[in-house]
Structure 1
Amino acid sequence: MESTEHLHRQIEGLEDLRTIVKTMKSLSAVSIRQYEQAVEALGHYYRTVELGLQATLGPMARPRTQRRRRGESPRSAVIVFGSDHGLCGRFNEEVSTRALERARTELAGSGWHRVLVVGALAAASLEEAAQPLEEILPAPGAASRITATVQQMLVRVDAWRSRDGVDNVYLFYNQPRARSGYRTTEEKLLPVDVDRLRRVEEERWPSRSLPFFTMDPWRLVAALLRQYIFVSLFRACAASQASEHSSRLAAMQAAEKNLDEHLEEVITTYRRVRQAAITTELLDVVAGFEAVSGDGGE
């Protein structure tokens, strides 16, 4: 039987651990909201950029796609969004597995010449699967740091396109579900789906004033496309961070439940052991009293 001192130390340790878990729950809940607000705010800007592309692409001819030499396969690059910290379930493993599965099936013919990873743990999962990585970026610790991370990614994407001749860029990230949890998402960043933008063109313009522009159309489209890519990367990064904290919140809720159950068991055991010790002491006192009383009677 365990001693009351040992059980008391266990109770104190479990209570300290429960305090840490509650703090992490609170931090995750606050973090989820700030990333959700960042995505919501970006949605209006995304719509503005989309309308700008709709207005500029309408009167322009369909852009020509870059053609490769015969027998030369297209080159692809990948950006995988993960986390730097654990305690978030299989968050990093799932997004890494999805990226690797995609690489070994539909994109196997193109070859993944460049892989950039956001988050040390996602990078570790990919390296464990023998996937070479070009660069690892730290995950932004707050919504205010996403812009700096996206700017680093934009520099890398520009280098892929201009220096390495990369044709396709894919994003892999976890996206929050409507109620709880997340789903792993794949998004094609480049080349931009012009057909989808032309479908947007068929929508009714939101005002009576038709748009017009005076600057060079190709320069305007290039500027808008850069903003379009920026928004896509920002949105993927923010969604990944929100999913990370959502997964951590769920893990902490499960941990708190297990801790409460275990703490209740230990407290029950502590009370039983303490009661048994008190009963034993009382019996010893009674036995001693009876022994003393018996000696006095003789």
Structure 2
Amino acid sequence: MSGRLGEVAGHLATTRELGLVIGAMRAIAAARSREARNCLDSVRAYAETLGTAIGEALALLPEAQYPEVPAGGDRRHLVLALCAEQGFVGGFNERVLESAGACLGAAGAQLWVLGERGATVAAERGLRPAWSAPMIAHPDEMSALAGRMADALYARLGDGTPTRVSLVHAQPGEAGRQPVLTRTLLPFDYRRFPASHRHSSPAVTLAPARLVAGLAEEYVYAELCEALMLSFAAENEARMQAMVAARGNVERRSADLLAEYRRVRQDEITDEIIELSAARL
């Protein structure tokens, strides 16, 4: 085999191996996205239970002691953007950070970023996160990371720096694009949970005001869990789409190399025939 033929054959073999790797990455991304979607039902059921408990706890308070609904106005803003930890996700991080940047508008706003790749893209866009952490790489890591995020948020709120927290994350979508959602996480809006009107009050061991505050914190934790699962599912969905596009490119490249291999091989066979014919003459 000549040098040129060997070179083309080597490229062809490498391209085919790359196609196998891309197929495996697509399968892993699909499995992780499916796992995240399966976790969402339990997370949402937990949040729904907490919402019911908040309504029942609110009914224990005299109306004059109901938690105040936060008013609008100038507030120090903290924006938490959930980005991708790993690569091959197309424009996923750019879309999330674009929405986060739109929320930052006011002077003094802080950006927090989850995901190593997201932090890199943020730096490229001139955004400097005040806090960052790795995004989950598997659904089993959701609870621990949500707990860390909640602790960090309440510690920062305790310092009196931000008074409003917005959560920016993608969710699984249709037609090959994951929509980005922006929602207010804090201050907590109790209006979402109407006070229960059940005839018998539940037995409690905590003061009603303390119970309501504790349930609200737990609900914020549930919201963080839901956002992590949605973002993780969307990230892997974006990776699946990137792998589909990459697989198409690899298949086209493989077809080109195969055609070139056949052409080079045919040229060598022709040259050999000519040499044999010349030798006989």
TM beyond 0.5: yes
Q: CA deviation at 1:210?
A: 6.0
TM-score, reference length from structure 2: 0.89
SS of the equivalent of 2:171 reads: strand
Superposition pairs of residues 1-298 of structure 1, within 5 angstroms: 3-58=4-59, 60=61, 61=63, 62-64=66-68, 73-104=74-105, 108=106, 111-112=108-109, 114-177=110-173, 180-198=176-194, 212-215=202-205, 216-289=207-280, 291=281
Residue identity opposite 2:142 in structure 1 = I
Instruction: Tell me, in whole angstroms, the C-alpha distance in 2 between the residues paired with 1:98 and 1:185.
Output: 8
Q: Is the 8 A contact 2:51 2:219 kept in 1?
A: yes
SS of the equivalent of 2:183 reads: strand
Q: Is the 8 A contact 2:146 2:221 kept in 1?
A: yes
66 and 161 in structure 1: CA distance in 2 versus 1, 3 angstrom threshold:
farther
287 and 117 in structure 1: CA distance in 2 versus 1, 3 angstrom threshold:
same
Q: Is the 8 A contact 2:70 2:187 kept in 1?
A: no
Could you list the per-position Cα deviations for residues 162-185 of structure 1 after superposition, in whole angstroms to 9, with x for gaps in the alignment? 112422110011111157531111
Q: CA deviation at 1:66?
A: 6.7
| Overall identity of the aligned pairs, in % | 24
Q: CA deviation at 1:96?
A: 0.7
212 and 31 in structure 1: CA distance in 2 versus 1, 3 angstrom threshold:
same
Residue identity opposite 1:40 in structure 2 = D
Which runs of no fewer than 5 residues in structure 2 stay unpaired?
A: none
Instruction: Tell me, in whole angstroms, the C-alpha distance in 1 between the residues paired with 2:247 and 2:134.
Output: 29
154 and 21 in structure 1: CA distance in 2 versus 1, 3 angstrom threshold:
same
Q: CA deviation at 1:279?
A: 1.9
SS of the equivalent of 1:182 reads: coil
SS of the equivalent of 2:9 reads: helix
Report the count of equivalent residues.
275
Which runs of no fewer than 5 residues in structure 1 stay unpaired?
A: 292-298
Could you list the per-position Cα deviations for residues 169-218 of structure 1 after superposition, in whole angstroms to 9, with x for gaps in the alignment? 100111111575311110110112222223xx58xx9xx98662333211
Could you list the per-position Cα deviations for residues 64-110 of structure 1 after superposition, in whole angstroms to 9, with x for gaps in the alignment? 25789xxx942111211112221110111111111112222xxx26x
Could you list the per-position Cα deviations for residues 117-168 of structure 1 after superposition, in whole angstroms to 9, with x for gaps in the alignment? 1112222222333333221101111111111111111111111221124221
